[in-house]
Amino acid sequence: MDDRRFCVNISPTERIGRIAVGLAAVAIAIALFREPGPAGAAALKVLLGLAGLDLVFTGATGHCPLYKALGHVPASLKGKNNDRYP
């Protein structure tokens, strides 16, 4: 089996939550960019937007690279996700 293949390692409930929180973070980052502020705040706005995009992406794909690196699999996915999780 190819280890580079994405496997779903996020539960359906968490996927919905990630997408919702990610979209909210992106929306807030966009709203904050419309407000003037110090230069240092711009970097934080960009980081908020990127974090939101990451949450949306991982929620949409169902794969979290950090979970994979840590070997975390939700109990609801063990045994029925695919043959990688006993």
pLDDT for the residue 15: 95
Confidence of residue 61 (pLDDT cuts 50, 70, 90): very high
pLDDT digits (tens, 9 = 90+) for 63-76: 999 988 898 888 88
Residue 81 has pLDDT above 80, yes or no: no
**How high is the pLDDT of residue 86?**
43
Q: Rounded mean pLDDT of 21-49?
A: 91
Distance CA(33)–CA(24), nearest Å, equals: 14
Instruction: Please report, for the chain, the start and end positions of each structural domain, with discontinuous segments joined by +.
Output: 12-70
* Average pLDDT taken over every residue of the chain: 86
- Which one, of 27, 86, 16, lies nearest residue 53 by Cα? 27
**Element spanning 49, H or E:** helix 39-61
What is residue 84's DSSP assignment?
T
